[in-house]
């Protein structure tokens, strides 16, 4: 056996180990698109729904029960849901594109494992936030969403590229900060779901996608 065969063998082994155990098709463009959508959503929330702050979205305003507050909260929730769905679709599209380009399948054991570990904290956090909102504890929802999202990223980071782990830690820190500085929920969301995703996406794109 020549040395070249050995080197080829080792390369082949390394590649298979990584490909079979890690979800590597996540595209940097997914992060950039999700971040951009989040910023657009935040802008719509601020300028259209809250009329540039003329309408006070007061996270302290618990149990006032008057209709305008409820209406605005509902509109904000619908907006957030729309942004989320668009972001997930965009992430899926760009990842599918990346997998195809590399001649790989997107829906693999590694993908399922990553998603599974991602969904556990995320679903727990989502239900917890609904419980808080229903109990009129709206003021900590922004914080909790960021914290649980960060935990989901850290949890799934073991099964994908390392950057996801660090993005998760940043989201957790931001979420905890949002818990102390109430009433800046929208700002923290724009930073966490918008700015951080874009920074992360650019880094991922430069490191893995541009070849």
Partner 1 sequence: MKNIISGLNKLFDSRIRLGIMATLSVNDNLAFNTLKELLDITDGNLASHLKALEKNGLIEVSKRFIERKPNTTYSITAAGKCLFEQHLNALERLINPE
Residues lying near partner 1 in the complex (CB under 8 A): 3, 6-7, 9-10, 12-14, 16-17, 19-21, 105, 108-109
Q: How far is the CB of 101 from partner 1 (least distance, A)?
A: 17
| Helix 109-134 × helix 141-157 angle, to 10° | 160
For partner 1, the closer CB: 33 or 111: 111
The distance in angstroms from the start CA to the end CA of the chain is 32
Smallest distance from the beta carbon of 117 to partner 1, in angstroms?
Answer: 14
Whether residue 55 contacts residue 75, with contact meaning beta carbons closer than 8 Å, is answered with no
Is the CB of 60 or the CB of 112 nearer to partner 1? 112
CB of 1 to partner 1, least distance (A): 8
Determine whether 3 is exposed, middle or buried from the number of CB atoms within 10 Å of its CB (0-12, 13-18, 19+): exposed
Residue closer to partner 1 by CB (options 20, 136) is 20
- Bridge partners for 23 per DSSP: 160
Strand, helix or coil for residue 23? strand
Q: Provide, rounded to whole angstroms, the least separation between the CB of residue 116 and partner 1.
A: 13
């Amino acid at each position: 056996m020549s040395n070249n065969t050995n080197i080829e063998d080792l390369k082949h082994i390394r590649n298979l180990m990584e490909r079979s155990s890690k979800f590597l098709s996540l595209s940097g463009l997914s992060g950039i698109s999700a971040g951009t959508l989040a910023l657009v959503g935040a802008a719509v929330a601020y300028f259209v729904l809250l009329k540039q702050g003329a309408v006070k979205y007061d996270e302290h305003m618990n149990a006032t029960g008057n209709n305008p507050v409820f209406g605005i909260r509902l509109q904000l929730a619908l907006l957030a849901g729309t942004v989320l769905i668009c972001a997930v679709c965009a992430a899926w599209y760009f990842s599918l594109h990346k997998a195809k380009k590399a001649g790989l399948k997107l829906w693999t054991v590694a993908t399922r494992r990553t998603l599974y570990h991602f969904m556990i904290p995320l679903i727990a956090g989502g239900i917890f936030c609904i419980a808080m909102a229903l109990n009129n504890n709206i003021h900590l929802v922004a914080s909790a969403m960021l914290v649980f999202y960060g935990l989901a990223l850290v949890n799934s980071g073991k099964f994908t590229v390392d950057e996801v782990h660090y993005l998760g830690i940043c989201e957790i820190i931001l979420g905890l900060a949002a818990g102390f500085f109430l009433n800046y929920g929208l700002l923290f969301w724009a930073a966490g779901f918008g700015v951080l995703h874009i920074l992360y996406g650019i880094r991922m794109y430069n490191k893995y996608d541009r070849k």
